[in-house]
Chains A and B, each alone.
Chain A
Amino acid sequence: MTGESLHQVQQSENHRAAALKDRILCCTVAGCLSGGANAVRKALTDEIERQNRHAEIEVCGTGCMGLCSEGPLVRSSARDVIFSNVKPADAAAIVDGTKPGDIKPDHPFFAGQRRIILANSGHTDPERINGYIARGGYRSLLRAVTEMTPAEIVAEVRKSKLRGRGGAGYPSGLKWELVARQPSSTKYVVCNADEGDPGAFMNRSVLEGDPHRLLEGMAIAGRAVGAHQGYIYVRGESPLAIERLRTALEQARRHELLGDRIFDSSFNFRIELRIGAGAYVCGEETALLASIEGKRGTPVPRPPYPPERGLWNNPTLINNVETFANIPTIVEKGGAWYSQIGAPASPGTKVFALAGRIARAGLVEVPIGTPLRSIIYELGGGVPAGYEFKAAQTGGPAGGCIPASHLELPMDYDSLQSIGAIMGSGGLIVMDTSTCMVDVARFFMEFCRDESCGKCIPCRAGTVQMHDILARMTRGDGVEADFPMLEELSGLLRAASLCGLGQAAPNPVLSTLRHFRGEYLAHVRERRCPAGHCEMTSNGGQL
């Protein structure tokens, strides 16, 4: 494909859309799918068939619109409204345009958002590359390949001050520069799409809702660092994401947007898919690389870091899905523009998966630094009546809990770290007073214990010990000496574990001990669970 033909596809696709009276988009991913979205889509298609109006109204599947708790969701493009809780019986009224749309763009859930990564999700058909091109897709790749030198692309990313969205927040520009500087002629670009935190589906929604954005971001990265081969390592538990990626890769290849001589330049770039097989530790970069090589996914000590020696010992750039998804926009609008959004030290937007005891659960994208209160109360509609906010959990098993006293906290990397939580990949779970924090800590420790790969002893044995102590506490068998023991073990895991899984495993314990110590004390001293969750089957404190 040439720049010219990209433009033509965009034009003809826009003409086609303009000729339609309406385009009805049905969310057909994760939450809505579980709620019966496929039946709704079929009913809409049948209705249009029955009325013989398929020339003027189009029905297509689309990615996540965000408001998952009110799904299945259907959007009418012409009327710019979303219908919630749609049933197959609503099809006729939607096609006729007589059903009142209940969610308009000024709805508080959407008004407070700023969508860059999710800009297309819910607006295009992720299974059609032309839909992505119509919205300006692959123009950034065209620019990166034909108008910019690799060094200029890296400079733009540095200027954007983009930080890795996988959780650790390492400056992406620095990482890109490190890989670009390596003299090796074989380099790789790897996308970490092994999103395994329980309660997190941000990356998945990008893969399912706008897969071409990721492919474009990776190809630009390949051009910038001098790589010709990319890998996407995707979680095996997300069959729809895998299917959508396969379709997208096939289309990009057919349109010659991946492959040899992209846009008639000398730049070649291919992407292969690698499917994970259910090991949380593979989200750690060295374990992920081992898994791509077809081995057990166990981490190795760093340094050398992957930018120096990664896949098959070659320099490798690893970024998260969301990081790559930002790249097309940064190239299009410039790093300086991007750096103005969000918090000065960590610009841009972040996608959060809002869940738990909250009125409106789903996916939101907000500027980094948005206070937790506005995410929960303005976008999320607050805690439902009859319940009381207790804490928000971020970062999954590596993260921490934010108590009500910190609701004003701006959600950025450094502020979160200062109170013992982390940004993580973006899971945000709201808990009310009926949730027991000791049990939550036990739940995450159980997760880390099960997912520990067993290579290093501090993690393998430490998570077992910590889990035993926490389980004892929730049974009412905790003893005073458990507190110093928990803290000692936490210090040990942090200092001596080989990889992030073990190092971060104590975080949920430490953060709940810090903010909810009273609850632990009630379990141990009074053999009572203040939340009324734990069944105290204690036998009088005897071990």
Chain B
Amino acid sequence: MTPTATERDRLLENVMSRHHYAGDALIEILHAAQQLYGYLSPALLHTIAHKLRLPPSRVLGVATFYHLFRFTPPAKHTASVCLGTACYVEGAAALADTVRSCGWTLEVDRCAGACGLAPLVVCDGVPLSRVTSSQLESHLRSSE
């Protein structure tokens, strides 16, 4: 069950308080915030900056530096194509094109650590290993 807005606010407050509102825990707090709210909105970043007594520029600067933070709500369907070296040499670049052409949101994973099963695509959390473009396409079409 997804928590209500007030619950989320309270949970985030708990995380910040556990870290004593310390600026050096900013990245941990951003992780927690994204997990609770799905993404980091400008208002949310301002709140965090205010609570940690950091300049908003510092909070935005840190948040935008790291790839894992999102600033727009996550899409309905996401496929994460592993583009680690093993997957790349097995043709993962073509799989990324397939994801795009099927209208799913494409995420790129640098290495999922499943190199023995390359190429790997994780579709909404479901891993497809040693997958071909046509297998991927039929999976994506059938799970829309």
**Residues in A lying within 8 Å of B, measured CB to CB:** 30-31, 33-35, 67-71, 196-201, 204-205, 236-238, 274-280, 291-298, 353-357, 361-362, 393, 396, 427, 429, 431, 435, 440, 443, 447, 453
Contacts and interface: CB of A to CB of B under 8 A. Distances in A.
B28 A237 contact: no
Given A34-B117, A237-B109, A429 B86 contact: yes
Contacts of A291: 27
B120 A34 contact: yes
Contacts, number: 133
Given A34-B117, A35-B117, A199 B86 contact: yes
21 contacts: A31-B114, A34-B112, A34-B114, A34-B117, A34-B127, A67-B116, A198-B86, A201-B111, A237-B68, A237-B110, A276-B66, A277-B31, A277-B67, A296-B65, A297-B65, A356-B115, A361-B118, A429-B86, A429-B115, A440-B85, A443-B88
B79 interface: no
Contacts of A453: 65
B112 to A, nearest CB: 7
Contact of B110 (A198, A204, A275, A292): A198
A279 B65 contact: yes
B69 interface: yes
A130 to B, nearest CB: 27
Contacts of A361: 86, 115-116, 118
Interface of B: 22-28, 30-31, 61-62, 65-69, 83-86, 88-90, 109-118, 120, 122, 127, 129
Nearest to A447: B110
Given A31-B115, A31-B117, A277 B86 contact: no
Contacts of B84: 198-199
Contacts of A293: 24
Contacts of B129: 34-35
B69 A277 contact: yes
Nearest to B23: A294
Contacts of A236: 31, 66, 68
Contacts of B118: 355-356, 361
Closest CB pairs A-B (n = 9): A355-B115, A68-B116, A277-B66, A201-B113, A278-B67, A69-B116, A199-B85, A361-B116, A198-B84
Contacts of B85: 198-199, 355-356, 393, 396, 427, 429, 440, 443
A361 B86 CA distance: 10
Contacts of A237: 68, 109-110
Given A277-B68, A431-B89, A443-B85, 11 more contacts: A33-B127, A197-B111, A200-B111, A205-B113, A237-B110, A277-B67, A294-B22, A294-B28, A298-B65, A429-B115, A435-B89
Contact of B89 (A200, A276, A356, A396): A356
A452 to B, nearest CB: 12
B90 to A, nearest CB: 8
Contacts of B90: 356
B31 A198 contact: no
B62 A294 contact: yes
Contacts of A393: 85
B115 A353 contact: yes
B130 to A, nearest CB: 9
A475 to B, nearest CB: 14
B89 A440 contact: yes
A383 to B, nearest CB: 13
Nearest to A446: B83
Contacts of A440: 85, 89
Contacts of A396: 85
Contacts of A431: 89
A30 B113 contact: yes
A264 B67 CA distance: 44
A497 to B, nearest CB: 18
Contact of B26 (A68, A276, A294): A294
Given A199-B86, A292-B24, A275 B31 contact: yes
A294 B89 contact: no
B110 A355 contact: no
Nearest to B32: A275
Given A279-B65, A393-B85, A443-B85, A294 B113 contact: no
Contacts of A198: 83-86, 88, 110-111
A279 B63 CA distance: 11
A238 B111 CA distance: 10
B24 to A, nearest CB: 4
Most chain B beta-carbon neighbours within 10 Å: one of A31, A71, A204: A31
B26 to A, nearest CB: 4
Contact of A31 (B65, B66, B110, B116): B116
A68 B111 CA distance: 15
Contacts of A34: 112, 114, 117, 120, 122, 127, 129
A274 B117 contact: no
